[in-house]
């Protein structure tokens, strides 16, 4: 049975999705200030590795857990929703099906409590 990672198109697809997501974050003034001090090349690789893991692809994420990573940013529901919306649009641009996109968003949404530290 193929995993969500396979259905989405594997590593290359995740890289394209994350690049598209980062373009959208960069031009969103409600979000881009959070990333002002972030090395986006490093962030890209960490996010690709992280998504690979939660979509049942290769386990290659060696970064910090989601609560520690996002602690102290005072993130709110609206920030999470904005990233989730950009992610969903990035997946549509890459041509993912609405079924696979909503499966991916479900998995990301399970992490909301940890990311918002709430
Ligand atoms: C929606 C689901 C989200 C996921 C799956 C996610 C995932 C990640 C991952 C994997 C990292 C890298 C951790 C590391 O380098 O060790 C990271 C870092 C980061 N995230 Fe998120 N994140 C999410 C939401 C958000 C939101 C809503 C914001 C703010 C609007 C945000 C802001 C950041 C920032 C600023 C960093 C970099 C921290 C640094 O430079 O040290 N994230 N995130």
What is the CATH code for 4-116? 1.10.490.10
Domain boundaries, the chain: 4-116
- The dihedral formed by the CA atoms of 54, 60, 63 and 69, expressed in degrees to the nearest 10: -20
- Residue bearing the CA closest to ligand 1, atom 7: 47
Q: Can you give the pLDDT at residue 70? A: 98
Q: Which residues of the chain have pLDDT under 50?
A: none
Query: Is the CB of 55 within 6 Å of ligand 1?
Result: no
Q: What distance in angstroms lies between residue 46's CA and the mean position of ligand 1's atoms?
A: 9
Q: CB of 114 closer than 6 A to ligand 1?
A: no
- In three-state form (DSSP H/G/I as H, E/B as E, the rest C), the secondary structure along 53-86 is HHCCCCCCCCCCCHHHHHCCCCCCHHHHHHHHHH
Closest to 103 (Cα-Cα) out of 81, 79, 87, 82: 87
Q: What pLDDT is recorded for position 44?
A: 98
What is the pLDDT at residue 86? 98
CA distance 100 to 55: 10
Confidence (pLDDT) at 3: 98
60-114-93 Cα angle (round to 5):
60
Query: Is 46 flagged in the annotation as binding?
Result: yes
- Closest ligand 1 atom, CA of 82? 27
User: ipTM of this model?
Assistant: 0.92
Q: Which atom of ligand 1 is nearest to the CA of 51?
A: 5
């Amino acid at each position: 049975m193929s995993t969500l990672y396979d259905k989405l198109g594997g590593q290359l697809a995740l890289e394209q999705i994350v690049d598209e997501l980062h373009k959208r974050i960069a031009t969103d003034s409600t979000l881009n200030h959070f990333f002002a001090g972030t090395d986006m090349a490093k962030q890209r690789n960490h996010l690709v590795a992280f998504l690979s893991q939660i979509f049942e692809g290769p386990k290659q994420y060696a970064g910090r857990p989601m609560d520690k990573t996002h602690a102290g940013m005072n993130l709110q529901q609206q920030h999470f929703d904005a990233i989730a919306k950009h992610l969903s649009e990035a997946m549509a641009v890459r041509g993912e099906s609405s079924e696979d996109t909503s499966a991916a968003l479900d998995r990301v949404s399970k992490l909301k409590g940890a990311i918002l530290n709430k």
